[in-house]
Structures are given as C-alpha cells and as structure tokens.
Structure 1
Amino acid sequence: MNIPQEYIIQRKSVRHARINVNEKQEVKLIIPNSFSNDEIERLIEQKQNWIKEKLAEFQKEEILSIHIPPANILYLGEPHPKPRNNLEKWYRKEAKNYLSKRIDFLAKKHNFKFNKLFIRDSFNKWGNCSKEKNISLNWRLIKAPVKVIDYVILHELCHTVILKHSHAFWLKLSTVCPTFNEQANWLKKYGKSLFQ
C-alpha cells in the first residue's frame, strides 16, 4: 500500500512511532528519523482498523464549542492572544510554570506530598503518578479550564496515597474534588479538542 496523501508525517528524534487521530479527521504519524517509507506503510497497514475506528468515533463526538478568533488560541479554557514565537514551545513553558505552581498549591491545601513533577508530551494520558510519588502531567492541560486542570492534578495527588483505582481511591477523590465526574466527563467529551 502507499502512504495516503492526507496523512501528516512528522519525523522526530523518538524511539517509537505514534499515531494520533483528531477531531478534524486528521491522521498524524510521529515517526522516528530512522524509519523507512516501507516501515511507515507497514505501520499504517497494521493500524488501519484502529485508524478507521478512531475516525468514526470523531464523527460522533462533539467539538469544543468555544469560538476562538483566528488571532487567538485556547488557554485555561478561554481565548487568548496568540504568541508570536513557536506555539508549542510557548504552551510548554506556560504549562510548566502554571502546573508546577498549581500542584504545589493543591498539595498544600489538601495535605498531599509528592516527589517530583514532570511535564510530559503524551497522546493517551492526562496525568500519571508513579510508585515513587512522581507525578507527570500532559502539557496540553494548559488549554483546559482551571476546574479540569485541578481535577487531573487532584486525581494524581490522590494516587500518592492510594495507587489503584479502588473504591477507597474514588472516595478520597470525591472528598477533595466533589465535582470530579463533571470534569472527567468534560475531558471525555472535549479532550481531543486540546490536541488541535
């Protein structure tokens, strides 16, 4: 098979290939620099059914209904003037600054202790907490409303106490984030819009 012309191929210094399908019906492939065209074709062939399923899902999903003027971007759930420099670099810098302050504030407020914070680039996770109490947050969260960001942070902070998604975990989360179901549903409904 040939590589479909509408697919977006990005070669980067990464170990593993990744495929991202978004609500614009775009299929983006993040490919290691060492990959040949034959290897890309094999990857697409292997993931063909998964790509079709994702495209079908997006036809049913609602897109974030915030009107963003062309000169603006999404920041903390609201339109924000677009920076002149590299957009992703700006987002990552803002995410590191805001999320590090916010997690410190929420941890202190609710008596949680964590080890280190990492700002990650992930296509399938908003956050993660390791056994060592290291917390990772997706930089794209900086686009989400503050309540949604707080939910993800508090979710991971609860994992510093209860690692598994047990009944006790959800009970703990409900005490520090009573509306967590609303925020979780927002991410399920609009989360893919943050990958624009």
Structure 2
Amino acid sequence: MNTANDHEYRDAGGFIAEVIRSSRRKTADIRVEQGVVSVIVPTTLSTERIDELLAKKRQWIREKMLLHQEARPASTRRFVSGEAIPYLGRNYRLKVIDGPFKAPKLDKGRLVVSVPGGSNQPEMVRNAVIRWYRRRAEEKLPAKVQRLAPSVGVTPDRVEVRAFRSRWGSCSPKGQVAFNWRIMMAPNRVVDYVVIHELCHLIQHDHSPAYWREVARVMPDYAQWRDWLKDVSHELEV
C-alpha cells in the first residue's frame, strides 16, 4: 500500500498506519491517538523498514488501540453504509466498500470509505473517518484563521489541529492556536465561533467581560453559537 490522496499508508495487518515523513526526524516514532495509528519517520526511511517497525510494535499498538476503544465515550455509530456523517452542518451518507484501503472521499453526497473487510471492520472504518475529519480540519481551520484574524486584529504564529478530549481549542502565550478536529462535525458558523474564540484569547487571556466584548465585536451573535456548542457537544463524537 503506497499513497492515497497524497498521504502514505501501510496495511499493518488488522490496522492501517499513516506514514508521516519529516526531515526533522532522525528516528521513527509511533503514535496512537484516539485509536488512530501514525508513524513519524525520517524522509528517506524505506517502506520495508517501516513495515518491520510496525510488525515489531504490533502488540503494543493493538493494546493502545484497545485502551482507546474502552475509554472513549459511548457511541451509537456502527460505521456501516447509510449512516449519517456530519460535516460543517450537513449530513453525508457513509458508503463502506470492502477493498484495499483508500483515503475517504466525498462523492455525490456520500463519504466513501474503502477498507479490507468493509463493514466487518467497524474500527478500521471509524479510524478512516477520523483521519478524514483531521485532514479536513488541517485544510479548513488554518484558512479560517487566516480569514478571521484580521477582523480580530491578531496574527497567530502557528495553527495546529489536535485530539483534545474536553476542549474545542486552546491558545498559548506564544501566539499558537490549536483546535479539536471534532469541531468539523459542527455547523460552519459554530466553527467560526471557535476560531474567533481562540483568536480573541491572543488579546485577552481570560474570560473577563473585556474578553467577551472582543468576541462580540467580531461576532455579535456569538452567544447563539456558544450555546449551540454547549447543548450539542455531546453528539459530536465518532
């Protein structure tokens, strides 16, 4: 298995690992976040060596995946064809195909996922869907930050996408903002609110009245979307 939509993946026998090549890495690092496996490697490391590393750490990876599976919030999703997949306020229908792994893609109102075993491998389908959400977040959120930052009057140094457990975003004193990829399940206006929320923290680092005045200056109807997120956040799970 080589690349899918410009991203590199390896079928490690029971799970799919995303390969992230970095010129800053001198050694390989395997990570399991929310059950999704990534291996960060030096740019020139061969696929054969990557496969050897994944095989060597297979037991450890499986144990980590199981811990994530047991710890995550209960979900009614079965990851079978026909289920609704929310994205920026619209529901797309999941279409699961039994075949070689391919990065999920939107096609005529459906999110098409191809994994070995198809619907008989719900965890693999779930992991593919999570990867898809993260890719969309990595694509959309920096663009939103770039568009909204001038209105706030700030210039963040860095934008990151993370897998937060209980928050939608964060802001560091050094000017870095980070967002939870799950926010991509919310309506577009809610995503705007979360971005503006964190950008305003670059001006006010607390939740004082002065801070909320900054938010209201950029987004006068922010309370509507803040309340929506409070009321519906428990449903934004994969």
Whether 2:179 is the aligned partner of 1:167: answer no
> What SS does the aligned partner of 2:112 have?
coil
Counterpart of 1:21 (choices 65, 68, 73) is: 73
> Match of 2:18?
none
Mapped contact 2:162–2:179 kept (Cα < 8 A):
yes
Give deviations 1:17-69, integer Å, cap 9, x for gaps: x9443465xxxxxxxxxxxxxxxxxxxxxxxxxxxxxxxxxxxxxxxxxxxx8
Q: Percent identity?
A: 30
Q: How many matched pairs?
A: 143
Deviation at residue 122 of structure 1 after TM alignment? 1.1
Aligned-residue Cα RMSD (Å) equals: 2.6
> What SS does the aligned partner of 2:167 have?
coil
Aligned AA for 1:83? V
Deviation at residue 160 of structure 1 after TM alignment? 0.4
Mapped contact 1:71–1:82 kept (Cα < 8 A):
no
Counterpart of 1:79 (choices 91, 96, 99) is: 91
Aligned AA for 2:141? L
Counterpart CA distance in 2 for 1:174 and 1:22 is 35
Q: Tell me the TM-score normalized by structure 2.
A: 0.54
Counterpart CA distance in 1 for 2:169 and 2:175 is 12
Aligned AA for 1:155? H
Counterpart CA distance in 2 for 1:187 and 1:126 is 10
> What SS does the aligned partner of 1:162 have?
coil
Greater RCO (CA < 8 Å, at least 6 residues apart)? 1
Structure having the higher strand fraction is 2
> Match of 1:12?
64
Whether 2:135 is the aligned partner of 1:93: answer yes
Q: Tell me the TM-score normalized by structure 1.
A: 0.65
Alignment of 1:9-158 (within 5 A): 11-12=63-64, 19-22=71-74, 24=76, 70-80=82-92, 81-85=110-114, 86-158=128-200
> What SS does the aligned partner of 1:132 have?
coil
- Which blocks of at least 5 consecutive residues in structure 1 are unaligned? 1-8, 25-68
Give deviations 1:99-130, integer Å, cap 9, x for gaps: 11111101123322111011000110100001
> Match of 1:34?
none
Aligned AA for 1:108? P
Mapped contact 2:152–2:200 kept (Cα < 8 A):
no
Aligned AA for 1:182? Q
Deviation at residue 71 of structure 1 after TM alignment? 4.9
> Match of 1:187?
229
Counterpart CA distance in 1 for 2:73 and 2:88 is 23
Structure having the higher helix fraction is 1
Q: Are the structure 2 counterparts of residues 177 and 160 from structure 1 closer, same or farther at C-alpha, using a change threshold of 3 Å?
A: same
Aligned AA for 1:74? P
